[in-house]
């Protein structure tokens, strides 16, 4: 394996200087603008173009959990794990058509603001606290820890300095506000895509060498021969990874809840488009959907290539940690195989992905805390400049907390990507149900929304631990459970989410029907169905995405 050379360091420094310099230039331009200080800082209102919105969405979404965690899942499970990326492309189209018009028509800037406007302050404050805890304890920590783990394995530095470097770099970008994040994300996503594709090409070239050939195309053919079972897109019940990706549920069930919640009800994501007009926001989301179609090539295929190389013995013991196989080592191991110079490009791509996600997540934490907690609960008379200052302090505090608690969570033990998906899934069904019912069913009450918040979480916890309290083997013949290697019948977490979602919907309908007549404070959100219409260019782009997805699943079903 090659070491991190002077050439690699120079390449990485060029990336660092380019991002930092561009960010400073954007920040100085922003300082001359006359926009409202807090909205300009948190939302970059009206100043992001469609390509900046799309690039920022992807740069903020793709991070260590994809490069490290999803590549690890590619090694362990195969291309089926790409359903998270592919379904996201379809979901972004749905969000652009149905969610964005509702948010922009009602001038929604934060997700708790929507909940307060629709259901009242109690629901909004409860969910704001939920989101802050989830973003810090699950998302920020996992991104920081997995990213530092990869950089540590490449650079030879200890884990803590790598975590501090990423946290400080991301904080510096975040302190400039959403406009700086949005436009530096364009540079970040360019590094991410170019560096990621270079890594994939070289990984396939290494696989081609196993068959005495060369080149990415021959490498892909060789990969199909050596790891053909890793290209099954829908897993059978007998597959040992069925609990992670339960068959058709990935297309017809819980995966929709994962994606609709993430892309449509998530401050971290929707914040990029909330400051734009509807046509610009829709173009940005469609651009992000096309970029999403590239992600399996960048983050899953290298993991499958690492599997083929490892099975051939080409990687030695590199995939083992303390004597045990660790799939999350797949991407770092591949990066260590790259030649001098190209390793610097791949290292910059990985760092770009991690830093962009950290910056985006930290900005969303600052936005929710400042606008929905501090301003509405502690200081309603706060000046614009005061709120920006509070936002910057919350960025530093959240980064500090993530550095402190990330090593304690055992993120690398479970598998980074699955860790995030499962624990986020405890609240996803209730949140999505609350938003959809709030959009499209006027009788939904605040009491029903509070049931979704707390009942969804409680239902997810009950189903998680139900196998330890009773025998669920009677569900196995009906496809709702599978007997694991430990001999226990469990419900896959995607199926748990699907079940909880519909139970919550039923509960919300019942509670709303039994409630007293609507109070004046229970205000329905204005939904103008004419806004759901799209122009011809958007419709054509959406059709191309749908045909592409159908082709992929038709070829590798």
Residue 325 phi, psi (nearest 5): -65, 130
Check residue 521 and give left, alpha or beta (phi > 0: left; psi -120 to 50: alpha): alpha
**Percent of the chain whose pLDDT exceeds 90:** 24
Domains of the chain by start residue, with CATH: 95-409 (1.20.1730.10), 425-526 (no CATH)
Using CA atoms, how far apart are residues 481 and 243, in angstroms rounded to an integer?
9
CA separation for the pair 437, 443 (Å, rounded): 9
Give the pLDDT of residue 80: 92
- A 10 A CB-CB count for 242 gives 18
Tokens of 138: 């699950």
Pairing, β 482-483 against β 489-490: antiparallel
Phi, psi of 137 (to 5 degrees): -80, -35
Tens-place pLDDT, residues 29-62? 766 554 445 555 555 455 578 888 888 788 777 7
* pLDDT class of 300 with cuts at 50, 70, 90: very high
pLDDT at 245: 86
Instruction: Give CA–CA dist 557/544, Å, rounded.
Output: 20
- Helices 493-514 and 254-264, packing angle to 10 deg: 70
DSSP state of 313: T
CA 105 – CA 103 distance, rounded (Å): 6
| Buried/exposed 355-379: b ≥16 CB within 10 Å, e otherwise | bbbbbbbbbbbbbbbbbbbbbbeee
**Does this model's pTM top 0.75?**
yes
Highest mean pLDDT among 23-32, 199-208, 322-331: 199-208
Query: Nearest 5°: phi and psi at 282?
Result: -65, -40
The mean pLDDT of 455-479, rounded to a whole number, is 85
Could you give the angle at the alpha carbon of 470 between the alpha carbons of 427 and 411, nearest 5°?
Answer: 40
More confident residue, 185 or 230: 230
Helix (H, G, I), strand (E, B) or coil at 3: coil
pLDDT at 182: 61
Ranges of beta strands (E only) in 218-376 are 320-321, 324-325
Question: Which residues are CB-neighbours of 239 under 8 A, at least 6 positions away?
Answer: 232
Q: At residue 540, does pLDDT exceed 90?
A: yes
Q: Is 324 helix (H, G, I), strand (E, B) or coil?
A: strand
Instruction: Please return the burial class of 471, using the count of CB atoms within 10 Å of its CB with bins 0-12, 13-18 and 19+.
Output: exposed
Chain segment 245-269, per-residue pLDDT in tens? 888 888 888 899 989 998 998 876 7
What's the CA gap between 72 and 70, in Å, rounded?
5
Calpha distance 131→266 (Å, rounded): 9
* pLDDT bucket at 410, cuts 50 / 70 / 90: low
Choose among 454, 247, 270: nearest CA to 363: 270
Helix extents (H) in 95-245: 100-105, 111-119, 121-134, 141-155, 159-174, 178-210, 216-226
pLDDT at 204: 93
Q: Exposed (0-12), middle (13-18) or buried (19+): which is 193, by Cβ within 10 Å?
A: buried
pLDDT for 136? 86
CA 174 vs. chain centroid, Å, equals 18
**Which whole number is the average pLDDT over 99-124?**
85
Rounded to whole angstroms, the Cα distance separating 322 from 308 reads 22
CA distance 290 to 268: 20
What DSSP assignment string belongs to 441-487?
A: -TT--HHHHHHHHHHHHHHHHHHHHHHHHS--GGGGGGTS-EE-TTS
């Amino acid at each position: 394996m090659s070491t991190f050379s002077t050439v690699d360091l120079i390449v990485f420094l060029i990336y660092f200087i380019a991002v930092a310099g561009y960010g400073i230039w954007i920040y100085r331009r922003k300082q001359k603008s006359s926009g409202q200080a807090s909205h300009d800082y948190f939302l970059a209102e009206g100043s992001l173009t469609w390509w900046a919105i799309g690039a920022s969405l992807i740069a903020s979404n793709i991070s260590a959990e994809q490069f490290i965690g999803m590549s690890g899942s590619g090694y362990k499970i195969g291309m089926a794990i790409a359903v998270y990326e592919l379904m996201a492309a379809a979901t972004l189209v749905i969000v652009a058509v149905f969610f964005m018009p509702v948010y922009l028509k009602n001038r929604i800037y934060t997700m708790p603001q929507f909940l307060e406007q629709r259901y009242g302050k109690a629901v909004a404050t409860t969910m704001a606290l939920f989101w802050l805890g989830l973003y810090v304890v699950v998302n920020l920590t996992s991104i920081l820890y997995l990213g530092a783990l990869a950089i540590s394995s490449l650079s030879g530095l200890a884990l803590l300095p790598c975590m501090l470097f990423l946290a400080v770099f991301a904080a510096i970008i975040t302190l400039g506000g959403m406009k700086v994040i949005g436009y530096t994300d364009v540079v970040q996503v360019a590094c991410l895509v170019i560096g990621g594709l270079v890594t994939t090409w070289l990984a396939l070239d290494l696989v081609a060498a196993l068959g005495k050939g060369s080149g990415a195309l021959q490498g892909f053919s060789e990969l199909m021969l050596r790891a053909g079972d890793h290209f099954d897109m829908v897993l059978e019940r007998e597959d040992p990874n069925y609990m992670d990706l339960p068959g058709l549920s990935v297309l017809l069930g819980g995966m929709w809840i994962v994606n609709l919640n993430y892309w449509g009800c998530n401050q971290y994501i929707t914040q990029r488009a909330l400051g734009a007009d509807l046509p610009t926001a829709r173009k940005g989301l469609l651009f992000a959907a096309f970029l999403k179609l590239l992600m399996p090539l960048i983050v899953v295929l290298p993991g499958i290539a690492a599997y083929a190389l490892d099975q051939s013995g080409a990687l030695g013991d590199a995939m083992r940690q303390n004597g045990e196989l660790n799939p999350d080592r797949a991407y770092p191991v591949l990066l260590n195989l790259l030649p001098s110079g190209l390793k610097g490009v791949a290292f910059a791509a990985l760092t770009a992905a991690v830093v962009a996600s950290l910056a985006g997540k930290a900005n969303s934490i600052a936005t929710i805390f400042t606008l929905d907690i501090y301003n509405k609960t502690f200081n309603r008379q706060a000046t614009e400049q005061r709120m920006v200052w509070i936002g910057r302090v919350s960025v530093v505090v959240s980064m500090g907390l993530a550095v402190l608690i990330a090593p304690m969570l055992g993120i690398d033990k479970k598998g980074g990507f699955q860790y995030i998906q499962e624990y986020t899934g405890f609240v996803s069904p209730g949140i999505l149900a609350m938003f959809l019912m709030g959009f499209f069913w006027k009788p939904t009450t605040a009491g029903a929304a509070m049931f979704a918040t707390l009942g969804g979480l409680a239902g997810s916890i009950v189903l998680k631990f139900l196998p330890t309290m009773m025998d669920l083997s009677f569900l196995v013949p009906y496809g709702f459970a599978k007997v694991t290697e430990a001999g226990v019948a469990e419900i896959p977490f995607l199926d748990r989410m699907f079940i909880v979602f519909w139970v919550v919907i039923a509960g919300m309908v019942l509670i709303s029907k039994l409630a007293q007549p609507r109070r004046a404070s229970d205000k329905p959100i204005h939904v103008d169905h004419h806004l759901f219409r799209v122009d011809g260019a958007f419709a054509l782009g959406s059709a191309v995405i749908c045909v592409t997805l159908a082709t992929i699943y038709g070829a590798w079903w």
